[in-house]
Amino acid sequence: MRLTVQPGGTAVLTVPHRVPEYMIEKFLAQHTEWIERGIKRMKDFKPLPVSGRRSYLKHKEEARAFITERVAYWNRFYGFEHGRIAIKNTKHLWGSCSRKGNLNFSYALLFLPRELADYVVVHELSHLKEHNHGPRFWESVAKALPDWKSHRRELRKYLPRQ
């Protein structure tokens, strides 16, 4: 049996064919505390309207165009040199920046509110100058987005994909 808690706090139990009801009830009784913790943790998360490989393949090029445009827009402010921009189907990361200056972004940014997608773009652009999360890094982010803390807080309510 498989038990998950989805964004929004919905618990989902997947049961193989022909499992007796008493075993299902026993399984749920054994995992009651885990379910309650999961619901409490996930109730504030906001599900995105996309997930999975099919969705990724369908939206990848649209996401590439959107993110490339947002990188160009924000980089007018910074003027940083960067390598390639890759669009990925990441499960836990919105974006990353390699030591070589390559920028990687989740295609799911396409489905976030614009200000949150922009926060991710500015965050990764700032890593081109500071490859850490020290005070100078956050100063770089704040130059473009003085209210970055509220965006960061709001972004934590979303997951790149399920």
3-state helix, strand, coil in the chain (%, to 5): 50, 15, 35
Task: Phi first, then psi: give them for residue 27, nearest 5 degrees.
Answer: -60, -50
106 with 153: CB under 8 angstroms? no
Determine the pLDDT at residue 48. 73
57 and 128 share one domain: yes
26 and 106 share one domain: no
Residue 112 DSSP label: S
88 and 149 share one domain: yes
Task: Count how many domains the chain has.
Answer: 2
130 and 78 share one domain: yes
Mean pLDDT over each residue of the chain, to the nearest integer: 92
31 and 79 share one domain: no
Q: How many helices (H) and strands (E) does the chain have?
A: 6, 5
Determine the pLDDT at residue 162. 45
Above 90 in pLDDT, residue 52?
Answer: no
In a domain, 160, yes or no: no
116 and 74 share one domain: yes
Q: How many CB atoms lie within 10 A of CB 76?
A: 8
73 and 140 share one domain: yes
CATH number at residue 127: 3.30.2010.10
In a domain, 127, yes or no: yes
Least confident of 48-52, 65-69, 78-82, 97-101: 48-52
In a domain, 117, yes or no: yes
46 with 96: CB under 8 angstroms? no
Above 50 in pLDDT, residue 4?
Answer: yes
Q: Residue 28: which domain range?
A: 2-42
In a domain, 162, yes or no: no
Residues 71-130 pLDDT 10s? 999 999 999 999 999 999 988 899 999 999 999 999 999 999 999 999 999 999 999 999
